[in-house]
Chains A and B, each alone.
Chain A
Amino acid sequence: DVKVTQSSRYLVKRTGEKVFLECVQDMDHENMFWYRQDPGLGLRLIYFSYDVKMKEKGDIPEGYSVSREKKERFSLILESASTNQTSMYLCASSLGHSQGVGDTQYFGPGTRLTVL
């Protein structure tokens, strides 16, 4: 079974703090994704990565950056947290190599971040 883990289930930070959210997958997947989920807005893609050190902006990248130094690990960074970044953050991974067919994505348990 694919396992995607996230470093924290709940996180409380203050405005202006630098925040790191970590995600690790154990199935040698090529692709990794960061989403945020807000009521009524569904899942919105922040960033994704299709290879080590490669990253692409998603639909809402503003205020975020990412890092993928190792294949199994994908980090989401909030350089200066703001209250409007309070949300549920979900990491996902997929096998890759599909060239646009759209791989099944496997999600982590999520991190609920509150920025005060």
Chain B
Amino acid sequence: GQQVMQIPQYQHVQEGEDFTTYCNSSTTLSNIQWYKQRPGGHPVFLIQLVKSGEVKKQKRLTFQFGEAKKNSSLHITATQTTDVGTYFCAGPKGYSTLTFGKGTMLLVSP
């Protein structure tokens, strides 16, 4: 079945350093979504990428969708303590369900 893998599982950075998480799917995706879950919170939708090679930015966050639509990345420039949380990618599976990656937990030290 479809699998979505994320790496790294965990990353600890100093405030101001950059951070990247990678997402790889075993199948071609029609779109990919990214969610963020703050500690003690619930996943919150960040963005959806649809087109091959698409790049979208949200302030310091840059999202990319691979040319083959099987991989994606989220890059955070100059991390801040407010970026702490777990970042999940998710791809469509079947009728309106999503397959989530296991997430990358980001810790930022001041």
- Report chain B residues within 8 Å CB of A45: 97
- Answer whether residue A48 sits at the interface, using C-beta atoms and an 8 A cutoff: yes
- On whether the beta carbons of A107 and B42 are closer than 8 Å, the reply is yes
The complex places the Cα of A30 from the Cα of B95 at a distance, in Å, of 12
- On whether the beta carbons of A33 and B43 are closer than 8 Å, the reply is no
Within 8 A of A (CB), among B64-110: 88, 90-98, 100-103
- Report chain A residues within 8 Å CB of B91: 102
Q: Identify which of A56, A58, A99, A107 gathers the most chain B CB atoms within 10 Å of its CB.
A: A107
Q: A91-111: contact bitstring with B at CB < 8 Å (1 yes, 0 no)?
A: 010101011111111111110
- On whether the beta carbons of B42 and A109 are closer than 8 Å, the reply is yes
- Answer whether residue B24 sits at the interface, using C-beta atoms and an 8 A cutoff: no
Set A50, A56, A99, A107: member contacting B43, Cβ < 8 A: A107
Residue of B nearest to A112 (CB): B40
- Answer whether residue B28 sits at the interface, using C-beta atoms and an 8 A cutoff: no
- Chain A interface extent, by class: 20 to 34
Q: Identify which of B9, B43, B48, B101 gathers the most chain A CB atoms within 10 Å of its CB.
A: B43
- Report chain A residues within 8 Å CB of B95: 50, 56, 99-100
Given the known interface contacts A42-B103, A98-B96, the answer about A104 and B42 at a Cβ–Cβ threshold of 8 Å is: no
- On whether the beta carbons of A42 and B94 are closer than 8 Å, the reply is no
Residue of B nearest to A92 (CB): B43
21 contacts between A and B (CB under 8 A): A31-B96, A41-B102, A42-B102, A42-B103, A43-B43, A43-B88, A48-B96, A50-B95, A58-B97, A96-B96, A99-B96, A100-B30, A101-B30, A102-B31, A103-B96, A104-B45, A104-B48, A105-B43, A105-B45, A109-B42, A110-B42
